[in-house]
Amino acid sequence: MFRVIHAVIESEEADSSKACIFFGIAGAFLLSQNHRFKSARPVAGVAGYNLRTPTNLAIILGTLENGEWSSDEDNFHCWIEVDGWIVDLTAPLFDSMAPFERKGAIVPSLMFQKPASTDFEDMNTPGAYMHLPNPELTVALMAHFAQMPAHADLIGICQQWYKPPPKKMVPSIEIGDQHGQLKEVRLSPLRLEGSW
């Protein structure tokens, strides 16, 4: 699922490390349509991950105001919630999301699928994570996303291309642009190395 969505984002020359909304919406749709997780939904808010680096780096996607973490349209992350679990399809991109000067090591491309947690106190523990949903922000971001007709087209392409295991996905597809020109898009070469 990650490789299809990542390939489609990259084909549009977008920065995939900043495309959490597309990953969340497309991923929730694919989970609902192909894996019978009808409760899968994109959620925006504050998210934090301890990346298990030698420097014990934690990235927190949100903003700190008066000692409290919060999220707004400029400082947020988007993930998928399904039956009490968090699925973050941007997790394989954490290496490119983390500040280079603070990393201390390469962050591997790992899948993130864990029970929901809002525990901010434990972020110094390697592998710790937390998610703080912001329902109002989620509604506003989803409404803004829906105003762009091209987004629905791209999610439709993801749905046509993605095949749940054990079915095989074709390694490439052709996508037409607004001028009717076709271009070949190949599955993302970025492969998962395991899970968090």
Delineate the domains of the chain, giving CATH numbers in brackets. 2-186 (3.10.550.10)
Tokens of 184: 């070949």
pTM of the model: 0.93
Residue 113's pLDDT is: 95
Beta strands in 66-171 (DSSP E): 68-70, 77-82, 85-88, 112-115, 129-133
List of residues 6+ apart from 153 with CB closer than 8 A: none
Q: What number is the average pLDDT over the span 141-147?
A: 96
pLDDT digits (tens, 9 = 90+) for 170-183: 999 998 876 778 89
Q: Compute the distance between CA of residue 13 and CA of residue 116 in angstroms, rounded to an integer.
A: 32
pLDDT digits (tens, 9 = 90+) for 105-134: 888 899 999 999 777 667 888 889 999 999
- To 10 degrees, what angle do helices 20-34 and 149-161 make? 50
| Torsions phi, psi for 47 (to 5 deg) | -135, 145
Q: What number is the average pLDDT over the span 161-175?
A: 93
Q: What number is the average pLDDT over the span 3-20?
A: 94
Residue 120's pLDDT is: 67
* CB contact burial 70-85 (16+ within 10 A = b; e otherwise): bbeeebbbbbbbbeee
> Taking 80 as the threshold, does the pLDDT of residue 99 lie above it?
no
pLDDT digits (tens, 9 = 90+) for 48-71: 999 888 888 889 999 988 888 999
